[in-house]
Amino acid sequence: MISKTDPVRYYSCDTRPSRNSHITKFHVYDFDNTLFKSPAPNPLLFNEATVGMLTSAEHLATGGWWREVLVLRNLGDGFVEEQKKAWEGYWNEDVVELLRMSLEDEGALTIVMTGRRQELFADILKEMLKSKGLYDELDGLMLRSGDFSNTIEYKTHVLVDVLDAYPDIKEVVLYDDRKSQLNGFQKCLNEYTEAVRPDLISTLVPVFTEPVFLDPKAERLVVEDMLERHNELITKQHNLTPLPKLATSSLRKSTHYTSYTLDYDTKADIISKLVSNLPEVFTEDVIHTFKFQVDHIPIVRGIAGRVLSQKLKESNNQQTWKITHVGRNEDHIAVRVSPADGKEAQTLTTPSILPVASKGKSQVRPPEEFAQIDHWTEVDFDLTFNTTVTGLINFKIIHDGGPLKSKKQKQAAYQQAGIP
């Protein structure tokens, strides 16, 4: 049995020789959206409440999105094909290069540490890191195990154990994409430095990675599979804590908008050009705190009527637009657009607006919020783009059994499940 006096071997999901001499630095790399662009639930595919349910560990008996191996296995062209390509395009190459530099530093103890559960993700993360030529050089791959209540509790526990075991470490460098995690690390290091090692130098590096999503069809199938297994567990009355938040569930589909939609490459091109041409609008603070949309110009809510559908078909459901103005208030940024051919085009708002970015937890905000922007400035550069008319399909998770709201309902459910 490996002792906690050798924490690197103790916490690593694969036993490997320890390095005990000449270690003066400790470099820690997070995996999801730091080293690797991990897919999140697509806010254009699911409504806001459903995204919250999927990403919470409390609403699905399977543990939710971040405990679902199928998410990583269905990324891109699927596990088998992506493994052949070493998941090209999904790595944060700047951070990968920093990791390689850390691995070449003989004085640095270098690990990848993630809050993903070891029993679920050890095998697939090993394969992903091996495909990139990183795994065999690591001093450790740490995945969460044990009874830690959350990710930062686990990570700071490992951090302190490693520092205690390596008294010659003078410098700690941590890379992470989540501000909450970095704040937790900073609090832990401040306390450790004050109490144990006053000369310890720590550097916390925030990482920004653009969001990626599964193919919409694949994502829907993954979520349906998650719900099927969730329902099986609920029916068998296994894994029911906390029971009041769990009920058999299914997906319901509706057409959220009929819109002029932008493909991913067009969206990326527009964001790049807006940021480079309008630095006074897209400041560093905006880039890091606002959530970008640039997905669609809504025509009507729901499904277009027969007359409008016929009119849209006359243009082959295509429309080219030019950006004319940019507008911003405290929480929203949008651009006004007009048809490049000078003709009129029906849209939900007048003038026509393409929502660009918003501040807050939700990545998708109603277009009416952007229409309330008061100050608009004419742009002095040419930017045109193409769109295609589509119905934006929106899915939401429905509790088939209904929510357990009252105290009496909750007590009855617990009693039925045999939970005191």
Q: If you write DSSP's letter for every residue of 16-30 in order, what string do you get?
A: -----SS--EEEEE-
172-208 pLDDT tens trace: 999 999 999 999 999 999 999 999 999 999 999 999 8
Given this model, what pLDDT does residue 234 score?
82
Q: What is the mean pLDDT of residues 200-220?
A: 91
Q: Answer whether residue 412 shows pLDDT above 80.
A: no
Q: Which of 84-88, 206-210, 224-228, 412-416 has the lowest mean pLDDT?
A: 412-416
Mean pLDDT value of segment 372-397: 91
Segment 119-131 mean pLDDT:
96
Q: Identify which has the larger pLDDT, 18 or 3.
A: 18
Residue (of 210, 208, 139, 153) closest to 178 by Cα position? 208
Contact, 64 vs 56, CB < 8 A?
Answer: yes
pLDDT at res. 317? 87
Mean pLDDT, rounded, for 57-74: 92
What number is the average pLDDT over the span 208-223? Answer: 89
What is the mean pLDDT of the segment spanning 45-60?
88
* pTM summary value: 0.73
Predicted confidence band at 329 (pLDDT cuts at 50, 70, 90)?
A: very high
d(CA 175, CA 262): 33
Q: Mean pLDDT, to the nearest integer, of 308-317?
A: 84
Q: Reply yes or no on whether the pLDDT at 225 is more than 70.
A: yes
* pLDDT, averaged across the chain: 87
For residues 86-106, average pLDDT: 96
Cα–Cα distance for residue pair 35/92, rounded to 1 Å: 5
**What integer pLDDT is reported at residue 15 of this predicted model?**
64
Q: What is the pLDDT of residues 133-174, one digit of tens each?
A: 999 999 999 999 988 989 999 999 999 999 999 999 999 999
Average pLDDT in the 92-113 region? 96
* pLDDT at residue 43, as a whole number: 81
pLDDT digits (tens, 9 = 90+) for 336-357: 999 999 888 999 998 999 999 9
| Residue 244 predicted with pLDDT over 60 | no
pLDDT digits (tens, 9 = 90+) for 274-304: 999 999 999 998 988 888 889 899 999 888 8
pLDDT of the residue at 210: 79
Structure confidence at residue 362 as a pLDDT band (50, 70, 90): low
Average pLDDT, integer, range 76-92: 95
pLDDT (average), residues 59-69? 92
In Å, how far are 233, 286, 288, 295 from 283, measured between CA atoms? 48, 5, 9, 21
Domains (range + CATH), the chain? 7-39+75-206 (3.40.50.1000), 254-396 (3.90.1140)
Q: Is the pLDDT of residue 407 over 50?
A: no
Q: Which percentage of the chain shows pLDDT scores above 70?
A: 89
Q: What pLDDT was estimated at residue 237?
A: 63
Do the Cβ atoms of 129 and 20 come closer than 8 Å? no
Is residue 62 classed as helix, strand or coil in its secondary structure?
A: coil
What is d(CA 327, CA 377) in angstroms, rounded to the nearest whole number? 6
Q: Over 90: is that where the pLDDT of 245 sits?
A: no
CA 258 – CA 305 distance, rounded (Å): 10
Task: Check pLDDT > 60 for residue 75.
Answer: yes
Section 211-239 average pLDDT: 85
Average the pLDDT over 225-249 and give the result: 73
Whether pLDDT at 361 is above 60:
no
Token pair 């006004």 is at which residue? 336
Q: What count of other Cβ atoms lies within 10 Å of the Cβ of residue 414?
A: 17
What pLDDT, on a 0 to 100 scale, did the predictor assign at position 393?
78
Are the beta carbons of 297 and 342 closer than 8 angstroms?
no
The rounded distance, in Å, linking the Cα atoms of 343 and 38 is: 42
Q: Who wins on pLDDT, 20 or 112?
A: 112
Does the N-terminal peptide bond of residue 403 adopt cis geometry, omega within 30 degrees of 0?
Answer: no
* CA atoms of 181 and 184, how far apart (whole Å): 5
Least confident of 20-24, 81-85, 213-217: 20-24
If pLDDT is split at 50, 70 and 90, which confidence band does 416 have? very low
